[in-house]
Amino acid sequence: LSIVEGNMPQSTDLLQGTLDVLILQTLAPGPMHGWGVAQRIQQVSKEVLQIGQGSLYPALHRLEYKGWIQSGWGNSENNRRAKYYSLTAAGRKQLERELESWDRLSLAIGLVLGRIKEAQA
Amino acid sequence: MIQQLLTRLRFLLRRPQPAELDEELQFHVDQAIQANLAAGLPPDEARRQAMIEFGGMERTREQCNEQRPGWWMGTAAQDVRYALRGFRRNPVFAITAVATLALGIGATTAIFSAVNALLLRPLPYKQADRLVGLTSVWPTRHENVLISPDFVAAQSAAKSFSQFGGYCLSNGDNLTGAGGAVQVSRANVTANLFPLLGVMPQLGRNFLSEEDRIGGPLVILLSDRLWRDRFHADPGIVGKAATLNGVAHTVVGVLPAHFSFPDPAAEPDYYAPADFDQDTTVSFKAGVWMVRVIARLRPGASMEQAQAEMQAFFDARAKGYPAVLAPWSDGRKIAAEPLQRAMTGDDRKPLFILLISVAAVLLISCANVANLQLARAISRRHETSLRGALGASRLRLIRQFLVESLALSSLAAALGLAIALAVTSLVRHAAVLEGPQASLLGRTAQMLRLPFGKLSAVIEVDGWVLAFTVGLALITTLLFGLAPAISGTRSDLRNALQASGSRMTSGRQQRLLRHTLLVTEVGMAVVLLASAGLLVRSFVNVLRYDSGFDPSHTLIGETHLQAGVATLHGPSAAWPAQRFRSFMDGVLLRLTALPGVEAAGATDALPLDGRTGGVVVFDGVPVPPLGERPFACVTHVTPDYFRAVGTQMFAGRGFGSADNASSLPVAIVNRTFAKKFFAGDALGKRFRTNAGPDHEMEPLNIVGVVDDVRHDSLLGEVQPEAFLPMSQVSALFRVKFVLRIAGNPALLANALRGAVAAVDPEQPVFDIQTMDQRIGDMVAQRRLTMLLIACFAMLAVVLSAVGVYGVFACSVTQRAHELGIRLALGASRGGLLRMVLMQAARLVLLGGVLGLGAAWSLNRLLADLLVGVAPHDALSLGLAWGLMTAVALLAGTLPAADAARIDLISVLHAD
């Protein structure tokens, strides 16, 4: 997973677990295959977050082993067999928890960096 | 949560589907190509860009697999498979390592199971950790007993104990009734003893306190064993009568089957109340009994408090003793110790010494296997480096080495456990295997069992022993596996890959490590050998002690002639003199007539039976005050007794049929008696004694002098002893027969029993054995300790020699190139041999010197077990050092000779 800033690609490791919450969030609306997940994250982040398959697939498998997402084979838009992932009930709960802690964390970091005024918080 | 676990479990069980993963990844690539095409790239470029973007397919596949729960277990299984494959490729290494370790682990586990059963496992009684035994300790001896007036006084006075119980042992009762007469053993117990131990009878009840008094009712408790053997497990036994010594006793209960009496020496057949006299003054009118004490600490009281209280109490009691008892009270220390410790007192030290010795053998095994692993690591360095170059991390390589070591030690532990199981079950079932025609197995079993007596029944491999073995496997793995793993994986990649495999030699550090291990091995072997030497010399000394009789070709057996009540205070239940005499005459006549019998005698105390006797006084010499009168053993014998036991006559005559109740009272004395009381000239002199059943102090005329015979123990001091003719006493209670036999004495056991039964069928003969067996039993523990340590020492020597051979054989193989060059440059073959041998000799000598130093300082631990030899005995130390050095150098000669035989051409061609 790398963050691309403008034309100068600067690779930074995201916090452990951030990719997981991104994937869970992306899968929240409905089932999606791996390619779709990567494209959606890239799209939504306005091309800032590009997820290589080397990170994506191990993460998908990890989440599946944890029981937060499940997989099944289905047909893709262009009628090819593809593996679709969807959130499980446990995954939905996990997503809520992760979002909550992300909110807390980003608020805290924002406060420290002075980007958010306390009054606003 | 549970669902999560189930999910994990499902994945754990489901096999990975590589095809699915491939298809998933391929889909991703195809989508990327599609996207690139859509963006307007030409097909070739679209594909190329997609592949570049995608990166390594194999790596992703690998990483996806690593996400699987339990993935690491899969690779561990891989490591194990790899290790086992390695063992199959190199079976000599694997077998040597496993066998070496299995011997070490097996021996250690077997010894530990004895230590566990005898010293560590709690006794099977209620809150056994609060039970206390009292021991009287003097500078040179200790006794597990108190005298009964002291015991009774302490029962009511002791404040540190909530209960204070005791018992006396006796083996003298004849049980008659259905099934013939048998001899049964008895313990007289205080009424509170069984409640104190938390033991409830399976039938009936315990003794009541009002039954435990002089003149109380004749009630008994049966052991489960006697109840089953003699009363057919009759469920209605309570209230019925059992005939003991011809008197009916009422059975009030049967003890549970699992109950074991808390005395290592005895497992009584039945129990009677102690009936101690409540008068606590120490006098000899009522008789004094030796009471063994078991007490329960009061809640909150500590062992130290109890100890201090008892010491003060008995110091005060000693002031009321008559002068005769001065030796009993002077310098007496009372030791209050946990019952388990009190019970196993004498067995502790040999067991711990054995445990230490066997641990040393295990350490030597570990050092050996570590050296083998190191040698193997060096020859595998090429492989290790290659794996490292292909991306295996150092940690992964170390893990691979450790998994191999663990596989070795697990195999060895399984084998070792099997060895321990075999040994312990042999010990436990020894009784089944024994018998007149005992096989080698039976004899071995007996040898292992005897030193532990009845406690051998509880030696087994239980959960703790299993845990111990597993712990040993893990510890040994670390001991022999860690160093090779760390040094074996520390490799300079470039050098290792460049050098050809055959030219690889060990680095300086590794050589140091291997030589240190070797020196340690040799040193430990020397310590064990020296200890074994000391014990062997002690054992020989014990057997060589002149005992004054000839134990070979001698059969002995005992019978108790009694009629009366089986209580401590029962009226002396001697037979009428007429019955006694006709019984003795009848039996001896039949015994003498048995085929093969050269002499048949009878006595009331055999050699080594312990001393029984009384004070002696002499006419014409003022009688010293009570307490200062000299003591002598007094033994009653029949005329042929001396010939039967093989004791030599020195002067005068033996007893004959003319010495009878109406003739002049005569005596034969031993040389010590003659020397001590008559300055050697005893014939024709007279003395009086209070010993014997008649207590008449009539003058006895000395008609003969015999050789000294030991009574206390094989090592004890010889006591002055007087022998009186059995035909001049009214009757005896205990009679022991002695037969001197031309052939194998064991074959006449049934004939001896039959001869007695023919005269009186009510009279059981028990403890029939050869005199050799009896002496063997007495030295059984010493012999076992000696044999085991000798075995461990030999094992240590062999293992160390294998170690020396292994290290130098390997070094010669690795240095073949160097040796070849030396040879080419003009070194002589003899010079090569000397060079390798000198290297081995340096290490062996260093190990030997260190071992001698260690033995010098450690052998003091053995001092208690030594007889007639000092812990720093130069002969034992020197022999140990010499033997180890010789064997080790011999082992070093083989690789040295290989070095001298090196083939120059093939070595130089190898490159």
Query: What is the three-class DSSP state of A87?
Result: strand
List the single residue in B7, B60, B67 with the smallest CB-CB distance to A53. Answer: B60
Task: List alpha helices for B662-778, DSSP H.
Answer: 671-678, 749-759, 771-778
Measure in Å the smallest separation between the Cα of B17 and chain A Cα atoms.
12
Which residues of chain B have a CB within 8 Å of the CB of A76? 27, 31
Say if residue B433's pLDDT is above 60: no
CB count within 10 Å of CB B394 equals 12
CA dist., res. B779 & res. B777, Å (int): 5
Euclidean distance between CA atoms B626 and B609, whole angstroms: 26
ipTM above threshold 0.90: no
Whether the Cβ atoms of residue B309 and residue B160 lie closer than 8 Å to each other: yes
Sign (positive/negative) of CA torsion B816, B819, B823, B828? negative
CA distance B767 to B30: 95
Of B720, B691, B716, B692, nearest to B705 (Cα)?
A: B720
pLDDT > 60? residue B660: yes
pLDDT of residue B694: 66
Place of tokens 């009774």: B152
Q: For residue B685, give Cα distances in angstroms to B228, B437, B701.
A: 56, 50, 6
Residues of chain B neighbouring A54 (CB-CB closer than 8 A): 55-56, 59-60, 63
**Distance from the A115 Cα atom to the nearest Cα atom in chain B, whole angstroms:** 35
Highest averaged pLDDT of the listed ranges B67-76, B478-487, B876-885: B876-885
Instruction: Please answer whether residues A69 and A86 qualify as being in contact, where contact means their C-beta atoms are separated by less than 8 angstroms.
Output: yes
Pairwise CB contact (< 8 Å): A65 & B7: yes
Residue B302: partners with Cβ closer than 8 Å, 6 or more residues away: none
- Counting Cα atoms < 13 Å in the Cβ hemisphere of B678 gives 23
Which of B4, B28, B56 lies closest to A34 in CB terms?
Answer: B28
Query: Do residue A58 and residue B60 have CB atoms under 8 angstroms apart?
Result: yes
pLDDT at B227: 93
> Is there a contact between B725 and B636 (Cβ–Cβ < 8 Å)?
yes
pLDDT range class, residue B2, cuts 50, 70, 90: low
DSSP code for B679: T
Distance between CA atoms of residues B832 and B822, nearest Å? 8
Q: CB-CB: which of A35, A65, A81 is closest to B11?
A: A65
Chain A residues with CB under 8 Å of a chain B CB are 33-35, 38, 52-54, 57-58, 61-62, 65-67, 76, 78, 80-83, 90
Q: Output the six-digit token pair for A18.
A: 């951030």
- The average pLDDT across B366-394 equals 78
Q: Do A53 and B30 touch (CB under 8 A)?
A: no
B196/B166 Cα distance (integer angstroms): 10
d(CA B443, CA B449): 10
pLDDT confidence band for B543 (50 / 70 / 90): confident
Please give the single-letter amino acid code of residue B547.
Answer: S
Q: Under a CB-based contact definition with an 8 Å cutoff, are residues B224 and B256 in contact?
A: yes
- pLDDT per residue, tens digit, chain A (121 aa), is 444 433 333 334 455 568 888 899 999 998 999 889 988 988 888 888 878 777 888 888 888 888 899 888 888 887 888 889 999 999 999 999 988 988 888 888 888 888 776 555 4
At residue B293, φ and ψ (nearest 5 deg) are -105, 135
Q: What pLDDT shows up at residue B16?
A: 61
Alpha-carbon gap, residue B212 to B760, rounded angstroms = 34
Quick: pLDDT tens for B687-738.
Answer: 888 776 665 678 889 999 999 888 776 676 788 899 999 988 888 888 999 9
The answer to whether the CB of B702 falls within 8 A of the CB of B738 is no
pLDDT at B7: 64
What residues does B651 pair with on adjacent strands?
Answer: B705
Note the pLDDT of residue A9: 37
Task: Assess whether pLDDT exceeds 80 at residue B851.
Answer: yes
Which two tokens mark B91? 């079976």
Cα nearest neighbour of B30 on chain A: A35
B453 Rama class: left (phi>0) / alpha (psi -120 to 50) / beta: left
Residue-wise pLDDT for B486-518, tens only, equals 877 776 555 555 555 444 555 677 788 888 889
Q: What is the pLDDT of residue A5?
A: 39
Query: What is the nearest CA distance from A78 to chain B, expressed in angstroms?
Result: 10
User: What was the pLDDT predicted at B70?
Assistant: 67
Q: Count Cβ atoms below 10 Å from residue B451 Cβ, excluding itself.
A: 21
CA distance B477 to B482: 7
* Integer angstrom CA distances of residue B23 from A70, B29, B60, B522: 17, 10, 13, 63
Q: How far is the C-alpha of B629 from the C-alpha of B522, rounded, in Å?
A: 58
Distance (Å) from the alpha carbon of B67 to chain A's nearest alpha carbon? 5
- List pLDDT tens digits, range B53-99: 777 777 777 777 777 766 666 677 778 888 888 888 878 788 888 88
Is B638 in contact with B602 (CB distance < 8 Å)? yes
| B811 pLDDT higher than 70 | yes
Can you tell me the distance from the alpha carbon of B167 to that of B165, in angstroms, rounded to the nearest whole number? 7
Burial class (CB in 10 A: 0-12, 13-18, 19+), B576: exposed
> Residue A65 and residue B24: Cβ atoms within 8 Å?
no
C-alpha distances out from residue A111 to A97, A98, A99, B732, Å: 21, 20, 18, 107
Q: Which DSSP letter does residue B620 get?
A: T
- Buried/exposed B329-351: b ≥16 CB within 10 Å, e otherwise: beebebbbbbbbebbebebeebb
Picking from A65, A66, A83, the nearest residue to B24 by CB comes out as A83
Shortest Cα distance from A111 to chain B (angstroms)?
35
Q: B279: which 2 tokens?
A: 């008068």
Which pLDDT band holds residue B473 (cuts at 50, 70, 90)? Answer: confident
| B25–A contact, CB cutoff 8 A | yes
Angle formed at CA B851 by CA B849 and CA B855, multiple of 5 degrees: 120
Label residue B500 exposed, middle or buried (CB < 10 Å: 0-12, 13-18, 19+): exposed
Determine phi and psi for B597, rounding to 5 degrees. -80, 120
Take residue A19 and report the two structure tokens written for it.
């990719």
Contact B846, B806 (CB under 8 A): no
The count of CB pairs under 8 A between chains A and B is 65
Q: Say yes or no for a CB contact (<8 Å) between B4 and A53.
A: no
pLDDT value at residue B195: 93
List, in order, residues 6 or more apart from B280 with CB less than 8 Å away.
B149, B150, B152, B153
pLDDT digits (tens, 9 = 90+) for A3-25: 443 333 333 445 556 888 889 99
Kindly report, residue by residue over B14-56, the tens digit of the pLDDT.
666 777 888 888 888 888 888 888 888 888 888 888 888 777 7
Q: Quickly list H helices, B499-547.
A: 508-544
Core vs surface per residue B524-546: b (16+ CB within 10 A) or e: bbbbbbbbbbbbbbbbeebeeee
Residue B873 neighbours by CB distance under 10 Å: 18
- B158-214 pLDDT tens trace: 888 999 999 988 777 888 877 777 888 899 999 999 999 999 999 999 999 889 888
Q: What's residue B295's pLDDT?
A: 92
Residue whose pair of structure tokens reads 């009574």 in the numeric block: B711
Backbone phi, psi, residue B137, to 5°: -120, 130
Min Cα–Cα distance to chain A from B6, Å: 9
Confidence check: pLDDT of B828 > 50: yes
Centre a 10 Å sphere on the Cβ of residue B135 and count the other Cβ atoms it contains. 19
Number of C-beta neighbours around residue B23 at 10 A: 16
Instruction: Give which of A23, A43, A65, A66 to mutate to test B binding, by max B Cβ within 10 Å.
Output: A65
CA distances from B319 to B150, B159, B280, B305, B470 (A): 12, 21, 13, 22, 56
